[in-house]
Structure formats: structure tokens, C-alpha cells
Structure 1
Amino acid sequence: MKKILLIDDEENLLKTISLNLEKFNFKVTCAVNIKTAIQIFNNNNFDVILCDLKIKNSISGIDFLEIVRKKDPDIIFILITAYGNIENAVRAMKMGANDFIVKPVDIEGLIDNIKILLNKKNPQQNKIEPPKLFNVNLIYNSKAIKNLIEEVGLIATSNSNVLITGETGTGKELIAKIIHELSGREGEFIGLNCSAFPSDLFENELFGHEKGSYTGAANSQKGKLEIAKDGTIFLDEIGEMPLLMQSKLLRVLQEREFNKIGSNEKINFNARIISATNINLEEAIFQKKFREDLFYRINVCHITIPPLRERKEDIPKLADYFIEKYSKLNNKNIKSISQDALNVLLDYSYPGNVRELENIIERAIIITLYDSVEISNLPRHLTQKDINFKNNTDKFSNYTKLINFEIDMIRSALENNDYNQTKAAEELGISRKKLITKIKKYNL
């Protein structure tokens, strides 16, 4: 039985939280001030500490955190804070707190977070069997992806928000969909690309509007938050979200409610937020482009998808899968790839990751005259010397090759989609805005 030390000066809140935790087989010890908590802590061993940030006639929760960390650097420490104290809670996270929750306390979410933190601290002792992924379309042979699947299985059973990071083309949306499917949530999976809209249109997409709320609003419209209901909202490229919308999303996550544009009626928000980015959000925070308090809200559970160049043992299986897929789509009977062609694929660094490999195989299937994919069917930039950033000392040559590769990818996507920029952007896994910028940059 895991032991929790709970500190708060609101006795009703203490009672409510402790009773709910005990239902989940936690042993809870309560204290109404820090002085008592220190005495209890010094004479007992605990797995988790839950402490209010501000307690009457006591030192702060942050000061108590410092005391605790000196004695036990590894104990799980979660702060409870009011809405107005978010900045202090963020400061506490930097000082070593594992998480913070905002009043009124979401008991179910708190218990989920405690379970996840306990499992991360001691995965064997607290091991939970992840759901079986038999029906999930994941093709892999690497230990890295096997570990990722186990992590996804654990996270899917919680209600906590998830941040998925990884380079373009690694499959962030696929992982988000798997989490949703395994979660058992009754609502829909609703995706929204944060870079696809300016701030005013993004607000309308997210919150919806009432009839007559602005010029041209002839009818009431539901936003993504309302459509998702008890499902999942997937916010792709969240690092591109306008700052104004970041603050509005933060308020939704704190208050678990929102209202449409032009309406004062509050709508409850019960969906889970899964965010994805291919940029360094901590660097964006430093540059004042991303809110630090929002980062800690969306980053309760963090999944990193490794790039394809770090798991090349997956390439043969992925290649076989894409060969079968595009052979059927193109009414061909291509069953295999030659060893020479496979060696070329294994020797390449894939700046576009799995999506790039898929595009390479699709192109090869279309142009091959044989019953297998041959080296002659592969793009020239693969059969020439690979772009190897670590070993190639000619940096300018590498840069030129990368630019040429990007131009080829953009041209191919535009041709595949009859120069429809929106569809081409979807194929490339970037926003239409980014695609237009690159078209102008390369004069395509």
C-alpha cells in the first residue's frame, strides 16, 4: 500500500481528498500546517506528498519542498494551488516538484497522475500491464518502438494531458489516435492544426460561435471543444499556436469550461488534450513565444518518438508494409525489394522520417517495371552519397543536398495533388502557411 502525506489548511478539502485516495488503496496521513507535516515526514516514510502552495500561519509549500528534497530527492511531490498562484506553481516545478493541480481539485485526474508518477519512479514494483495493441497499425522491429508502445499503453488508461514530441514524419498523430482508441473514451478524436489559422479564426475553430456574434455569423456553430465532448482534442503543431489563444486554452484547462464566441453560457469541458510539436517548446518559452504555465499543463505525460535514423531495424518491415500497400493501390503484383535497394534504404538518414520512406516506396512502386523494387527505382539523392551530418565534413554540400531534397519533395507533393496547396501540405505534414512560404522561397 502506497503512503501519501497530505497537507492543507482547509479541513473539508483534506477530508474529501483523503477519503477518495483511500478508496484507491492509498494510506493517507493528513496535516493542517507545515510544522506538523515536517514532524510527520521526519518520522515516517512516504511515497507521495500532496501540499497546498499557501497555508495559513506556515511557511509556503515551496519552502516545504526545499526541506523535503534535502532529505529525500526522489519522493513524489505534488503542489495544490489556486488559480492566482499558477506562476508560483511553475516556479516550484523548476525547483523539483513533480506536478501541480489547481483548485477545485479534479480527484480522478489527481489519482491518474499519482499512478503515472509512481510507475515512472519504480516501473517494476508498480508495473501495470499495458493494453494489447493487436488491432493497432504499428509496424516495427526495434526496442525503441516496443518501449514506446508500452508507455502509450500506460498513458492511455489515464485522463491526463499528453505532449508528443518528435521530428516531422515520425507519426505523432498516429500515436495520438492510438492513445484515444485505447483510452475507451466515448467522444470523438478531433484534430486541429494550430498553425493553419490566424488567431481570430483559430478561436472560432476551437470555441465555436453563436448566431449573430459577428458579421457573417448567420448560424450558430459548434467549436472543436464542444464537438469532442468526452473524447480527445489533438492539437498538432501546438508550438505555432498564437499567444492570445495560448492564454485562452490555458483558462479552459484550468476551469474545465468555456463559452462560445458571443455567448455567456458556460459549456463543460471533459475532453482530453493531446498536443504535438516538432519544435523545442522550452526554447520557445525562453524566446517568449510559448507560455510556460501552458507548457506544464499540456506536458503532464510526455512521449518522445525517436527519428527513423535511430531505429533503422524498423526499415525492412516498414518497406515491406508500404510495398504491399501501394502494390494493391496501384493494381500491381510487387512482393519484395532487392537486397541492393534495401541496403540503400538502410544507409539513408531520413530527414523526413517514416513519411519520407513511405513516399520513396510509393514512387518506386509506380515507376518499377519489375516484380520487385530495385535500386534503379529509388530517387537519385539516395543512390548518391547520403546526407550524413555526423561524418560528412562538407557542410555546404550537405546543406545543398538537403535543400534539393526538400524542393523535390514539395514538387512531388504538388504534382500528386494537382497543385492543390492544402492537400499537398497535408501530404508533407506541414501547414499550408509553411508550404506557401517554401514555394515563394524556392520560386516553385
Structure 2
Amino acid sequence: MSKDLYPSLPIYIIDDDAVSREAHQGILEQRGMNHIMFSDNTDEVLSKLENQKVSLILLDLMFPDCEKNGEDLLPDILQRYPDVPVIIITENDAVETAVQCMKSNAYDYLVKPVNSERLVTTVELALEFGDISNENLTLQKQLLSGQLQHPEAFSGIVSSNNEMLSIFRYVEATSTSNQPLLISGETGVGKELIATAVHKCSNRKGEFISFSAAGLDDETFCDRLFGHVRGGIEGATEDQMGIAQKANEGTLFLDEIAELSYENQKRLLQFIQEREYYPLGSTKPKRTSAKVVAATNKDLKNMVDQGQYRADLYYRLSTHHISIPPLRDRMEDLQLLLDYFIDMAAKDMNKRFRVPSKKILACLSEYEFPGNIRELRAMINDAVVSQKRGDWLDTKFFEKYVNKNQPNGVQIRKFQSSDSAAFVSALHRLPLMRTLQDTLIEEALKRSNGNQTIAANMIGVCRQTIIRFLKK
């Protein structure tokens, strides 16, 4: 089995001192950073960079046998590759030169002999800086173009909502990053679907592995995540691989992470930061290159403020953060979702149905959907199963469902003629017909979050009436 390389693009060490090169290589490899390339002169550097992208550069300043020294080479590197962090390595007597390099936009400098922890920390921070810089550039390009690079990755997510489309572009921009991603949102909004899209966009070689942390005690959580060796836990007669190993070179999706105990929060933080773990009962660490995507339906920031969640883990997880809007805030997707789920349910049950009636759309547009997309899908499956005859779904099924399940006991009731009479008689002065129509249209658009079709269905007019109103 081939050895996993980290980072995905090599660290480029440029130093004419073989002892120094090997020492830096050894320190980095001990911490899992084993993807390294070298040059012992400055003459070949630019040609190498043309043929090989790198994650960062460690550049020595002194090259007595070369035409250019490190200080001379630095401007060329920064001009051609402004997004690659460059860390200067210098002797004690050249610190002032290193400071001048920093002013020219070098990332940082280290003084020989380099302290091991300082080297590792500086390189790790530079890798994170490079990741985020590249993601920002990708995101800017996508926002300007308005186009998705991997539309197929989002084929299972039905939406024309602008906020959702922005999330899709953000997913594409951050998917190749090694940094964690936190997905928050109410139950049923589709957090795992977004996590799956992240994996598809990342082009990672490994698998997408999903794992829920809900309801697990400390030992079970560690056993499921890290695995164990023979004798590592009671009754363990053989080694057992954990999902951290199964997700290597892929994506590890951790759901319900708000449910972790304080001790397991600490373990998860160390796992994410160090990219290594110990199977239960083992003294030998294992490393992983899996991208961690975490999800929760809780307000983690509020839990941090209340002292119920570790602040360091929260900020580490939320290096990148996606908040998925609830269905009630993207009602323009309702018609698309209805068509999509009815078609799926009909195919599963070998039935055929026409496009749902406007009455069903108007009825559901008044509903809060506390269970979001998952609830809508379950509702439609139930309606399709319940339909014994005909190819039109029964409107009464949806009316009964909405009245029974509307949050806070709110009942959806049709506006009767007696309501109209009471409404008119309560007016001191009758409004003009045009004023009344405009007021109704404005209120319908407000309740439907600007969806013209739903607004028209609410008040019994055609969509062209809404369009003419908006053009005035």
C-alpha cells in the first residue's frame, strides 16, 4: 500500500546545506508532513515551480556558489506565485535581511539552528494560510462567474434559491481544503446532502464515511472513531479498524457533534489538530488525511457562551462554516420540491400522478415545516401511498396534515364569505378596488417570500396579475 502524502502539494525546501535540508525534512516527517521536494541551488527553482505546484517554500538566504542568493530570488517567486507562502531561513547575522524580506511579503522567517517546534508551528500556520488564500481566490472567481464547476455534485439537492446557490459555490471553493467544515441547520434541511456534495467536489480518492455521535458513551465513541487492537477493550479478540482509518484520503462526516461529552470534545480537537490518533489499547499512533466535515442542529456558539461546549473545538471546526436555511425561508423551492418528491415516490410505488394542483401548493405555502425537507418528503410519500384511485393527489390529505401539525396550534382556515362581510363592515371608509388588490398582492408576496406563483395561488389571481403589479 502506498504511503499517504501530506500535504497534497509538496513543501519545497531550497537550501544548499545538505545537513540543514535533512534535519528540516526529518522534523517535518515526524509530524506527518512527508510530501517534500528539494533544491540545493537557486538556478533551477523557477523552472521547477513552472512544472510543479507547491504548498509552501522554505527558502535559505545564502547561496555562495549560485548566481542569485535567496534574497535575489524572492521577488521573482512572489511576483509569479503570490499565493504560495515563503518562509525565509537565515543565519543569526542576516536577521535584518530577513526582516526586509518580510516587508516584501515573505510569510515569516526562521533563524538557524531552527527550533523544531517553531519550524512545525510556522509550517502548519503557513499551510492553513495558503489553503484559505486559495479558497478565497476560487470563491471570488466563482462569485464573479456565477457558474458552478461541478453541478453534478449537487444533483440530489433541489433548489433555485439564491442563498442555496451561494452555498453551492462556497462548497466548491472550500472542498479541496484540508481544513474542517462545520454545517449547521435545523433538523431535516439536508446537512448530509451538503456534506456529500463537499466530498464529490473535493475529488478525494477515499470514501465518504458518515458517523453520528448522538447517544454514544466515551468508550463507544472512541472505539467507533479510532478502532481498537486485540485486547484493547473488553472482549476484543482481534484488531478492529475505526472509521477514521476507513475515511483516510476521503471525507469523514461527523453528525450531531453538539452531543459530545467534554472529554470526547477534547479528543476530537486533538484528532483534528494533530491528524493522528491512537486505536484503543495501542501505543502506536495512526495518521489520517481525511477531511473532517461536522454537522449540528444546535447553536454551538451559544453553547460556547453558556460554557456547554469547548470554545477551542468550536473555532477549529468552524474554520469554514455553512448555515443551511430552513424550508420556510426558501419557499420559492416548494413547487420544485413537490414535483421532485412526487415523481420519486410515484416511481418507487409504480404509480403515475399529474403535476400537483395549485390548491396543494397554496395550502403548503402557509405551513411552517418544522421538519423541513425531510418532513415534506415523508408527507408526500404518505400521500402517494394513501392515494388509492385517480392520478391527482388528494388536496384534503394535505389540508388535514397542515391543520394537525402546524406549530403553536395555528390552524389554516379558508377565508369564507362571512369573513369578507365582517372585514368590510369593520372599515370606516371603503378602499378603492385598486388599493385593495394592491394590498392583497403585497401581503401575498410577503407571506410567500416573493414567490409569484405561490402569491397568485394564495389570492386566486393569475401570475400575470402579480407580474403587472411588480412592473408598476
TM-score (ref. length: structure 2): 0.62
The answer to whether the 8 A contact 2:207-2:248 is kept is yes
Cα deviation code 1:151-184 (max 9, x no counterpart): 2121223332111111110000011011101111
Structure 1 pair 152/21, CA: closer, same or farther in 2 (3 Å)? farther
Is 1:195 paired with 2:214? yes
Match of 1:352 among 362, 371, 392: 371
Is 1:279 paired with 2:336? no
Q: Return the alpha-carbon distance in structure 2 between the equivalents of residues 235 and 28 of structure 1.
A: 31
3-state secondary structure, aligned to 1:295: helix
3-state secondary structure, aligned to 2:341: helix
3-state secondary structure, aligned to 1:233: strand
Match of 1:324 among 326, 343, 364: 343
The answer to whether the 8 A contact 1:327-1:333 is kept is yes
Counterpart in 2 of 1:73? Answer: none
Match of 1:132 among 150, 157, 181: 150
Counterpart in 2 of 1:371? Answer: 391
Match of 2:381 among 362, 385, 400: 362
The answer to whether the 8 A contact 2:363-2:399 is kept is no
Structure 1 pair 202/343, CA: closer, same or farther in 2 (3 Å)? same
Structure 1 pair 330/379, CA: closer, same or farther in 2 (3 Å)? farther
Q: Which amino acid aligns with 2:150?
A: K
3-state secondary structure, aligned to 1:235: strand
Structure 1 pair 283/123, CA: closer, same or farther in 2 (3 Å)? farther
Name which of structure 1's ranges 228-237 and 378-387 shifts more when overlaid on structure 2.
378-387
Q: Return the alpha-carbon distance in structure 1 between the equivalents of residues 163 and 338 of structure 2.
A: 18
Name which of structure 1's ranges 329-338 and 28-37 shifts more when overlaid on structure 2.
28-37
Which one has a bigger Cα radius of gyration?
2
Q: Return the alpha-carbon distance in structure 2 between the equivalents of residues 284 and 294 of structure 1.
A: 12
**By how many angstroms is 1:224 displaced?**
0.8
Q: Which amino acid aligns with 2:275?
A: R
Counterpart in 1 of 2:314? Answer: 295
Match of 2:263 among 244, 255, 260: 244
3-state secondary structure, aligned to 1:336: coil
Structure 1 pair 352/311, CA: closer, same or farther in 2 (3 Å)? same
Is 1:339 paired with 2:321? no
Is 1:16 paired with 2:49? no
Name which of structure 1's ranges 279-288 and 377-386 shifts more when overlaid on structure 2.
377-386
The answer to whether the 8 A contact 2:86-2:107 is kept is no
The answer to whether the 8 A contact 1:234-1:275 is kept is yes
**By how many angstroms is 1:115 displaced?**
1.8
Q: Return the alpha-carbon distance in structure 2 between the equivalents of residues 360 and 125 of structure 1.
A: 36
Structure 1 pair 34/317, CA: closer, same or farther in 2 (3 Å)? farther
**By how many angstroms is 1:212 displaced?**
1.0
**By how many angstroms is 1:385 displaced?**
9.6
Q: Return the alpha-carbon distance in structure 2 between the equivalents of residues 336 and 50 of structure 1.
A: 59
3-state secondary structure, aligned to 2:214: coil
Structure 1 pair 385/324, CA: closer, same or farther in 2 (3 Å)? closer
**By how many angstroms is 1:331 displaced?**
1.9
Q: Where in structure 2 are there 5+ consecutive unaligned residues? A: 1-19, 29-55, 61-73, 413-472
Q: Return the alpha-carbon distance in structure 2 between the equivalents of residues 385 and 265 of structure 1.
A: 53
The answer to whether the 8 A contact 2:57-2:84 is kept is no
Cα deviation code 1:246-291 (max 9, x no counterpart): 1111112222211211111121111000001111111111222221
3-state secondary structure, aligned to 2:124: coil
The answer to whether the 8 A contact 1:336-1:371 is kept is no
Q: Return the alpha-carbon distance in structure 1 between the equivalents of residues 397 and 346 of structure 2.
A: 14
Q: Which amino acid aligns with 2:394?
A: E
Q: Which amino acid aligns with 1:375?
A: T
Counterpart in 2 of 1:204? Answer: 223
Structure 1 pair 226/162, CA: closer, same or farther in 2 (3 Å)? same
Q: Return the alpha-carbon distance in structure 1 between the equivalents of residues 400 and 117 of structure 2.
A: 57
Structure 1 pair 36/308, CA: closer, same or farther in 2 (3 Å)? farther
**By how many angstroms is 1:353 displaced?**
0.5
Identity %: 31
Is 1:235 paired with 2:265? no
**By how many angstroms is 1:36 displaced?**
9.3
**By how many angstroms is 1:24 displaced?**
4.2
Q: Return the alpha-carbon distance in structure 1 between the equivalents of residues 330 and 146 of structure 2.
A: 26
Structure 1 pair 201/155, CA: closer, same or farther in 2 (3 Å)? same
3-state secondary structure, aligned to 1:16: strand
Q: Return the alpha-carbon distance in structure 1 between the equivalents of residues 95 and 368 of structure 2.
A: 54
Is 1:170 paired with 2:189? yes
Q: Return the alpha-carbon distance in structure 2 between the equivalents of residues 371 and 154 of structure 1.
A: 43
Size of the aligned set, in residue pairs, is 336
3-state secondary structure, aligned to 1:316: helix
Output aligned runs, 1:17-416, within 5 Å: 24-26=81-83, 50=107, 102=121, 104-105=123-124, 109-118=128-137, 130-134=148-152, 136-368=155-387, 369-378=389-398, 380-383=400-403, 386-387=406-407, 397=409
**By how many angstroms is 1:129 displaced?**
6.2
Q: Return the alpha-carbon distance in structure 2 between the equivalents of residues 83 and 235 of structure 1.
A: 30
Name which of structure 1's ranges 282-291 and 305-314 shifts more when overlaid on structure 2.
282-291
3-state secondary structure, aligned to 1:105: helix
Q: Return the alpha-carbon distance in structure 2 between the equivalents of residues 25 and 320 of structure 1.
A: 48
Cα deviation code 1:197-244 (max 9, x no counterpart): 111100100110001112211121011101111111000011111211
The answer to whether the 8 A contact 2:58-2:86 is kept is no
Q: Return the alpha-carbon distance in structure 2 between the equivalents of residues 371 and 39 of structure 1.
A: 77
**By how many angstroms is 1:119 displaced?**
5.6
3-state secondary structure, aligned to 1:158: coil
The answer to whether the 8 A contact 1:204-1:261 is kept is yes
Structure 1 pair 129/374, CA: closer, same or farther in 2 (3 Å)? closer
TM-score (ref. length: structure 1): 0.66
Q: Return the alpha-carbon distance in structure 1 between the equivalents of residues 146 and 122 of structure 2.
A: 29
